[in-house]
Amino acid sequence: MKEIRAVAEVCTILRDGLTVVDRRPLADLDDAGIVEAMGQKAAVRGKPATATATRPDGTTVAIAGPGLTVTLPPGTVLGLAGAPAGPGQLIDALVGAAPGSAWRISLDGAQADLRDPARAVRQGIGYVSGDRAEKGLLTTLPILDNVVAATRVAARRWLARRREADVAGDALARLSIKAGSVDDSPLTLSGGTQQKLLLARWLEHPPRMLVLEEPTRGVDIGTKREMYALIREMAARGTVVVWWSTEFPELIEICDRIVAFDLRGEVSGVIAGAAIDEVALAQATGMAA
C-alpha cells in the first residue's frame, strides 16, 4: 500500500478476474477500503493477545553468536530484519544448513545438534522458505507427500501409511487449501496456496521452533492474513517462531522482539515492545522504511 501511494494517483481494483473499482483517485480510498474491495478482511491494528502475556508450555530457545545473545521463552515470535547476509547466516545455522557455524543454539538448556537439516527436524526445528521452488516444495511428489514430509523425516520413515491421506486432507481443510486430490501435483496450486502447503507440513508435526524465511513473499493479502493467524496459533501453543521478512510492517505486526542486522550482515541491535517501529528498523538496518 505504501508503494502504491508513493507512485500512483489513481487505481483499478480487480477481484476474481473482474474490475470492481475503475480508475478511482487514490485520495478517495483508504487502505481498508482497498483491501475490502479486493474481497479481503482489513488488517486488525495492534498485536493480538499472544504468548507475550501468558507463556504457554513449550521449549525455551537460546541463541548465541556474533554480537547477539538472546533467550526466547515458549511462544516468542522473534523477527529478523535486514538484508539477506545477516539473517541468512543465522537461519542456516538454526535449520542445520551451516555445520561449524559460529552460532550456538540451545533447546531447554541443551545444545542442539544441528549438523544437518534432518537432525534439526528430529530435534523439533521446522523451516519454511519463501523460495518454495528451490527450498520448499517437493515438486516431483504429490500434495500428500509434501504435507507429511516433516513427520516422515522425524520418524525416519519414508513409506506411506494408510492414515496419511486423512491427515493430509484434514490439513488442507484447516488451511482452506483447495485441491482436487491429495494425489495432485503441488504445481497445480497457486503460489500463495503453495506457501500454505509448506506450513501445512508442520501441523501434524508441531515444531519446538519454526524458522520462517520470507514466507509471505509473492502472496496475496488474504493469504498473508491466513498465514499470520496460523503462526499466531502455533506461538500460542508454545512454538518459538523466528521470522525473517524485508517488510517492516509485517515484522511490526507479528513480532515480540526484532534482531536487526546492518548492511554488512552484523547484528546492530535488538528492538522490543513499544520501540518497534519503521523508523527504528530503518535506522538499525540501513534499509528504507
What is the per-residue pLDDT for 54?
Answer: 57
**What value does the mean pLDDT take over residues 20-29?**
93
Cα angle, residue 118 at apex, residues 112 and 120 outer, rounded to 5°? 25
What is the per-residue pLDDT for 269?
Answer: 95
Tell me the C-alpha distance between 147 and 142, whole Å: 9
Structure-block grid coordinates of residue 8: 500512483
Tens of pLDDT, residues 106-130: 999 999 999 999 999 999 999 998 7
What is the per-residue pLDDT for 132?
Answer: 64
What is the per-residue pLDDT for 205?
Answer: 74
Q: In terms of Cα–Cα distance, which of 112, 75, 114 is closest to 98?
A: 114
Strand order in the sheet with 68-72: 68-72, 61-65, 104-107, 110-111
Rank 2-6, 38-42, 145-149, 275-279 by mean pLDDT and report only the highest.
Answer: 275-279
Q: In terms of Cα–Cα distance, which of 158, 102, 103 is closest to 125?
A: 103
Q: Beta strands 267-272 and 257-261: pairing type?
A: antiparallel
Tell me the C-alpha distance between 212 and 209, whole Å: 10
Residue 47 has pLDDT above 70, yes or no: no
Tell me the C-alpha distance between 127 and 213, whole Å: 8
What is the per-residue pLDDT for 44?
Answer: 47
Q: Beta strands 110-111 and 104-107: pairing type?
A: antiparallel
Q: Map out the domains of the chain with their CATH numbers.
A: 2-37 (no CATH), 61-285 (3.40.50.300)
For the residues of 147-163, what is the DSSP string, one character each?
HSHHHHHHHT--S--TT
Residue 46 has pLDDT above 70, yes or no: no
Q: In terms of Cα–Cα distance, which of 276, 154, 136 is closest to 215?
A: 136
Tens of pLDDT, residues 142-194: 888 888 888 777 777 655 566 777 778 887 887 788 887 888 888 888 877 88
Higher local confidence (pLDDT), 70 or 53? 70
What distance, in Å, lies between the first and last C-alpha atoms of the chain?
A: 13
Cα R_g (the chain), whole angstroms = 20
Q: Beta strands 125-129 and 209-213: pairing type?
A: parallel
pLDDT band, very low/low/confident/very high, at 216 (cuts 50, 70, 90): confident
Sign of the Cα torsion 213, 137, 111, 76 reads positive
pLDDT band, very low/low/confident/very high, at 51 (cuts 50, 70, 90): very low
Tens of pLDDT, residues 223-271: 888 888 888 989 999 999 999 999 999 999 999 999 999 999 999 999 9
What is the per-residue pLDDT for 160?
Answer: 57
User: pTM of whole model > 0.85?
Assistant: no
Structure-block grid coordinates of residue 258: 526484532
Residue 42 has pLDDT above 80, yes or no: no
What is the per-residue pLDDT for 64?
Answer: 97
**What value does the mean pLDDT take over residues 68-91?**
96
Structure-block grid coordinates of residue 116: 544437518
Residues 6+ apart with CB under 8 A from 280: 271
